[in-house]
Amino acid sequence: VAEFDLINQYFKPPCSARNDVLLGIGDDCALLSVPPDKALAVSTDTLISGVHFPHGTMPEDIGYKALAVNLSDLAAMGAEPAWASLAISLPTADKRWVEQFMQGFNPLAAQYNLVLVGGDTTQGVLSITVNIYGFVNEKKALKRSNASAGDLIFITGTLGDAGAGLDAVLNAERYNIPVDDTLRHCINRLNRPEPRIRAGLLLTQLSQIAAIDISDGLLVDLKHICEASQTGAIIHLDKIPLSDTLAGHYQKRPGGQQPDWQAITCAGDDYELCFSCPEYQVDEMNKVFEAQDISLTQIGKMTSSNKIECFDKAGIRQNLPLTGYTHFTHEKQ
Ligand code: ADP
Ligand code: MG
């Protein structure tokens, strides 16, 4: 049967690179062994064609992103990746498509020593669900409820590229707007987000870190930390780091110069980490990250208010919507 051909040919890893996989793909369940001193960190993310990626996205990019967004959730908890399962629904048993999909999935799995241990293969509209499993010391987990007023707020990397990339793809489709090098860079960040696993693991060396991965938008994701921790936040917009490419793009716009802060703070898909760190630990944090080639930028501070307030370079408060991508509304709110 086509289903089993696909499983044997493409999903079954040649051999398990991990000795905690007691039994992998091929039986009714996988059997896995969790280290006795760790909690099992579990997360799921689904990608649906036309919702989470534009219909024309390449299968390699879908395979990469399906795993990357799940790894990103482990990163935001400070967990070390171990295993994944993959439920995939395909319109037809298209072997070439599955092969290319796995060409995006497998190298990323190998990079993080993650083994595919099971899944489900069905016919239907193109949709991919990955379950991911990792390990974390429960006391060191980067819980959203760990923040306190006065903690400093940081993000890894830069924001806004993926959102600009998504706009570029949709505009190219709708209005036939050509894709230049700037937009190509942004589309690449949309399709190939780098899960911040290393940063998440380094942060577990500290205490009382609250983290989230920016999947829906900086402000709406930060709001989740604020709600869980019962804090507010102040964000200094001009401190939010942009890639050279995106900064250049804003400078070139007619009358531009000012970045589009709403686009940058409300678009998701960058999969950077946003986290809070108690002030007394910032020196130690910098030491931990030294020589790690991961950029960290302080963009604000947790407060005891119940609001998230954004200020521009001149210190003027900007009213930006605390929203990002949400399902069931069929639009960016
Ligand atoms: P069952 O009918 O017992 O649920 P299946 O026939 O669905 O088992 O799957 C057979 C084996 O192949 C199982 O071990 C399952 O975990 C694995 N499997 C099925 N689909 C996938 C997939 N897309 N990726 C990885 N493993 C898969
Ligand atoms: Mg099954």
DSSP state of 46: E
pLDDT tens digits for 256-279?
667 889 999 998 899 999 999 999
Under 8 Å between Cβ of 138 and 107: no
Partnered with residue 212 across adjacent β-strands are 274
Residues within 5 A (CB) of ion ligand 2:
120
Q: Is 35 in the pocket of ligand 1 (CB under 6 A)?
A: no
Question: Does the pLDDT of residue 87 top 50, yes or no?
Answer: yes
Taking the C-alpha atoms of residue 274 and residue 268, their distance in angstroms, rounded to an integer, is: 12
Ligand nearest to the CA of 24: 1
Cα(247) to centroid(ligand 2), Å: 48
Host H or E run for residue 58: none
**Tokens read off for 133:** 């499993």
Mean of the per-residue pLDDT values of the chain: 93
Q: What pLDDT is attached to residue 331?
A: 46
Question: Does the pLDDT of residue 94 top 60, yes or no?
Answer: yes
Q: Residue for token digits 């579990």?
A: 42
Across the range 160-189, mean pLDDT stands at 87
Top mutation candidate among 85, 120, 133 for ligand 1, by most atoms within 8 Å of CB? 120
Taking the C-alpha atoms of residue 40 and residue 84, their distance in angstroms, rounded to an integer, is: 12
